[in-house]
Amino acid sequence: MKITTTSNTRFGRYGGQFVPETLMQPLKELAEAYAHLKEDPQFMRELSGLLADYAGRPTPLYHARSLSRELSRKVYLKREDLVHGGAHKLNNVLGQGLVAKEMGKTRLIAETGAGQHGVAAAMVGANLGLETEVYMGEVDIERQKMNVYRMELLGAKVIPVKSGSRTLKDSINEALRDWAASYENTHYLMGTVAGAHPYPLMVRELQSVIGTEAREQILAAEGRLPDSVVACVGGGSNAMGIFSGFLADETKLIAVEAGGRGTSSDEKIADHGACLNLGEEGVLHGAMTKILQDPYGQILESYSVAAGLDYPGVGPELAHLAEIGRVTPAIADDETALEGFRRLSILEGIIPALESSHAVGYALRNPDALGDLAIINLSGRGDKDLTTVMEQERRRRR
Amino acid sequence: MKLSEAFKRRPLLIAYICAGDPSPESTPEIVELLARAGADVVELGLPHSDPIADGPVIQAAAQRAIEAGMNTNVYFEMASRIRADLPLVFMGYYNMIYQRGLDKFAGDCANSGITGLIVPDLPPEEAGPLREACEKAEVDLIYLVAPNTPAERIPIIAESSSGFLYLVARAGVTGTRSEVLLSTKALIERVKADLPKAVGFGISTPEQAAEVIRAGADAAIVGSACVDLISKGDLEGLENLIRGMKLAIREVKPIEAVARI
C-alpha cells in the first residue's frame, strides 16, 4: 500500500504537511478535534459569546466620508482595529484557545513578530486559565518593548529567540521545536494562515467572521456587493478572513504586500516581504507556498517597516488564489504605508496599524483599481507603531 | 558502498556531521577520520537556514557552515572528493532538494557517491515525487518513525522506506540527552520491519549506543555529540568518541556476518 497526497491538506499545489514525523500525530489530533468542534453547537455558542462580549464583535463597517471624497469613490473601513487588543488577531486566538481547552491542553505556545499575536495569545491564556509562553526574536524584543511588557502583565512568559535571524521566522521554528516535544499538554497557537495543515484552514475559518460580517454590512448599507476588497498581507490572516466572505462573488480581492525599501534582495536579506509578487515556490514552516529564498533554497530574511508584514512566506491558500487569478497581488512600500498612516489619521481621525496602512496607502495611490465601491480591511490600530513612525520621521529629517 | 551491503555487518555505528562546518575544505578529512575510528555510515548534513527538526548544536553548526560558504553545489563537489570506503547518506531539508529539482538532486547524489537520503521534514504523504526520483537514480530514501507514530502508520512508513528505517529516539529535536528512555526501547520493539532499524536523536555516549543495540536496534546514530566536538576543534575527542561507541556496540553484539540468507 502506498500513501498518496491527501488532497484535503492542499489548496491546489500549495499547502500540505512538510513537517517532521514527530509533528504528524499532533497535527492529525488537532485537525480532528477542530473538525469535530466546529460542528458542535455548544462549542460554537461559547466562541460566539466570547467574540461578542470579550472581543467586542461585530465590528462596524464604517463609511469613511473624507477618504471617499479624496478618492472620488465610496470607501468603507472594516474596523478590526476596534477588536479587543487592537487587532483582528484575537478572533483566531479565541477559537484556538477554546479548541486547546477542549483538547485538554494546559499550556499554549505562540510565536510573535511585532507582539500583536503574542499579546492576543497572552490575553486568551489569561482568560481561559492556560499557561502561555510566547517565542519572540531577540531583535523583535528590542523593537517592541511595550508589547513584551503587555504580555508579561497578562501573565505570559516571553522566551527570547536567539537562533537564525532572531525574528518572526525563527520564532516559528522555535515554537515548532517546542511543540514536537511538548504537544501532549501543549497547543501551538499559530497566528496566521501559514504553516502545515490544518493551520491555514483553521485560522482562515476562525478569521472568516470578518468577511461574513463585512458582506452582510455592505449589503445592508449599499444594497450591493463592493467592487473591491483591499487587505494587507504578511502571512495573510486578516486578508483571508475578509476575502473568504467574497470568494464566491465577483468582488475584486486585492492583497497588498509589503514593498519595504524596494524590490531587490542581496544574498541573505530581501528588501521587502512581497512573497505573492516576488517569491518563488518552496517549503517554509511546513507548507508548500510562495517564499523568499536564495537559489539554493535558503530562506531569506524579509523586511518591512510593519513588523506584522515582515515574513518571508505567505499562506498557501493565498498563493493558490493568486495563481488562479482570484486574488490580485499588489505592493505598497514603506513610503506608501507611511503616507496611508498619516492621511487616514488626518482624514478620519483613525490611526491605523502600519500593517493596515499598506492597504490604505495602496488605495490612496491607486484609486482606479478600487472601482466605485470598496472596503479596506483596517486590521489593527496604530498605537503600537508610534515609536516606529517617530523614528522614521526623525531619520527623514536628518 | 550501498547501505544494504553495509548492513550485512551489523550492528553499525552511524555518525552525522554538518557538511561545511567549520569549513568546506575540512569535511572530507573529518569523514575519513570517522571512517578510521570505526563509523560504518556517515550522514552528511546539508546546512539549512531553518532547520526545524534540529536542536541548538546542529542549528549553530548549520549557521557557521552557511557563513563559511556552504551551498548545494559545494556540497556535491565535496562529497565526490571523499575517499573513505563507507556509505554516505544525505541528510537535509526538503526545500533545498526542491529548489535544485528532485531528479537533478537524486542524480547528483548518485554521481557523488551518496547512497541514500534522509529528509526530516518530508513525511511519506508528501514524499511521492522524491521517491520516484530516488528510485530512478537508484538511491535509498530513508523515512523516520517517531515515538508517537501510531501503530497503524508504522507498516506504511516501513514499506515506503528503503536502506534502513530511522527511529527517532524521543520527541523533540536533535541533541544530546542524559539517558535512553524506556519509550525508545518500546519503539524498537514496536517497529516490525524487514528493513534494518537505526536509532538516533539523543544518543551521545558509548553506553547509550550499547543500550539501543541491546534493545534490538541494528544501528546507533550519533549526531549532535560529533558536531559539538567538531565545533570545539576537538578531533581527537571525536575519534575517541567514535572508537568508544563502536567498541561498546560490538561488545553487545559481535558482527552478524552475512546474517540471514
A140 Cα to chain B: minimum distance (Å): 18
CB–CB contacts below 8 A, A to B:
134
The CA distance from B143 to the nearest CA of chain A, in Å, is 9
Sequence-separated (6 or more) residues with CB below 8 Å from residue B191: B145, B154, B158, B165, B167, B197
Positive or negative torsion for Cα B244, B166, A188, A235 = positive
Looking at the structure, tell me whether residues A118 and A240 fall in a common domain: no
For helices A116-128 and A89-102, angle between their N-to-C axes, nearest 10 degrees: 40
Q: Residue A185 has what DSSP assignment? A: T
The answer to whether position A1 is within a domain reads no
Instruction: Report the mean per-residue pLDDT for chain A.
Output: 95
- CB–CB of A18 and B160 under 8 A? no
Domain that includes residue B112, residue range: 3-260
On the question of pLDDT at A273 being above 90, the answer is yes
Task: Choose from B148, B156, B161, B165 for mutation: most chain A CBs within 10 A.
Answer: B148
- CA A188/CA A108 separation, integer angstroms: 6
Q: How far apart are alpha carbons B247 and B261 in whole angstroms?
A: 26
Instruction: Tell me: do A149 and A215 sit in the same domain.
Output: no
Cβ atoms of A258 and A239 closer than 8 Å: no
Would the pLDDT of A7 be above 60?
no
pLDDT at A25: 97
Annotated catalytic residue: which of B54, B140, B211, B218? B54
Which residues of A are catalytically annotated?
A: 89, 111, 379
- Taking the C-alpha atoms of residue A376 and residue A83, their distance in angstroms, rounded to an integer, is 16
Dihedral pair phi/psi, residue B81, rounded to 5°: -85, -10
A238 and A171 both lie in a single domain: no
* Interface residue of A30, A293, A298 to substitute, partner B, most B CBs within 10 Å: A298
Domain boundary among A199, A230, A256: A199
A182, A199, A216 - which closes a domain: A199
**Count of structural domains, chain B:** 1
Q: Tell me the per-residue pLDDT of A277-326, one tens digit each, with 9 for 90 and over.
A: 999 999 999 999 999 999 999 999 999 999 899 999 999 999 999 999 99
Do A78 and A120 sit in the same domain of this protein?
no
Interchain contact, A293 vs B120, CB within 8 Å: no
Identify whether the C-beta of residue A359 lies closer than 8 Å to the C-beta of residue A230. yes
Band (pLDDT 50/70/90 cuts) for residue A333 is very high
- State the pLDDT at residue B257: 53
d(CA A308, CA A353): 9
- For residues A219 and A362, membership in a common domain is answered with yes
- Nearest CA to CA, how far is A114 from chain B (Å)? 20
Residues forming beta bridges with residue A107, ordered by sequence position: A131, A186
- pLDDT tens sequence across A46-103: 999 999 999 999 999 999 999 999 999 999 999 999 999 999 999 999 999 999 999 9
pLDDT for A205 beyond 80: yes
A285–B contact, CB cutoff 8 A = yes
- Is residue A6 pLDDT above 50, yes or no? no
What are A94-138's pLDDT values in tens digits? 999 999 999 999 999 999 988 999 999 999 999 999 999 999 999
Please spell the DSSP secondary structure of A129-183, one letter per residue.
T-EEEEEEEHHHHHHTHHHHHHHHHTTPEEEEE-STTSSHHHHHHHHHHHHHHHT
Q: Which of A2, A25, A298 minimises the CB distance to B149?
A: A25
| The model scores a pTM over 0.90 | yes
Query: Are both A98 and A151 inside the same structural domain?
Result: yes
Check which CATH number belongs to the domain holding B65 and give it. Answer: 3.20.20.70
Are A146 and A189 in the same domain? yes
**In this structure, which long-range contacts are made by residues A358-361, counting pairs with CB atoms below 8 Å and at least 24 apart in sequence?**
A358/A232, A358/A256, A358/A257, A358/A258, A358/A306, A358/A309, A358/A332, A359/A230, A359/A231, A359/A232, A359/A254, A359/A256, A359/A332, A360/A67, A361/A332, A361/A336, A361/A337
Chain B residue numbers with beta carbons less than 8 Å from the beta carbon of A171 are none
Q: What pLDDT sits at residue A3?
A: 43
Pairing of strands A287-291, A131-137: unpaired
Side-chain-facing half-sphere of A274: CA atoms under 13 Å: 23
Q: How many CB atoms lie within 10 A of CB B86?
A: 20
Same domain, A82 and A103: no
A196 at interface of B, judged by CB pairs closer than 8 A: no
- Domain closes at, from A199, A226, A254: A199
Residues A28 and A68 in one domain: no
* Contact criterion met (CB < 8 Å) for B125 and A9: yes
Number of domains in chain A: 2
Of A3, A6, A282, the CB nearest to B98: A282
Please say if B43 is a catalytic residue: yes
Each residue's pLDDT tens digit, B139-154: 999 999 999 999 999 9
Q: Is A300 a member of any domain? A: yes
Residues A40 and A177 in one domain: yes
pLDDT of residue A263: 82
Instruction: Give the integer Cα–Cα distance in Å for A61 and A71.
Output: 18
Q: Closest Cα partner for B19 from B105, B107, B81?
A: B81
Range of the domain at A231: 58-86+208-397
User: What are A362-379's pLDDT values in tens digits?
Assistant: 999 999 999 999 999 999
From chain B, pick out residues whose CB is under 8 angstroms from the CB of A18.
94, 121-123, 126
Interchain contact, B95 vs A169, CB within 8 Å: no
Please give the Cα distance from A349 to A331 (Å, whole number). Answer: 25
The residue of A5, A18, A183 whose CB has the most chain B CBs within 10 angstroms, and thus the best one to mutate to test that interface, is: A18
Name A269's bridge partners. A301
A295/B contact by beta carbon, under 8 A: yes
Q: Specify the CATH number for the domain of residue A189.
A: 3.40.50.1100
Amino acid at A267: E
Are residues A169 and A258 located together in one domain of the fold?
no
Is A7 part of the contact surface with chain B (CB cutoff 8 Å)?
no
Q: Are residues A49 and A72 in the same domain?
A: no
- Complex-level ipTM: 0.95
Mean pLDDT of chain B: 93
pLDDT in tens, chain B (261 residues): 899 999 999 999 999 999 999 999 999 999 999 999 999 999 999 999 999 999 999 999 999 999 999 999 999 999 999 999 999 999 999 999 999 999 999 999 999 999 999 999 999 999 999 999 999 999 999 999 999 999 999 999 999 999 999 999 887 777 766 666 778 888 999 998 899 999 998 899 999 999 999 999 999 999 999 999 999 999 999 999 999 999 999 999 777 654 444
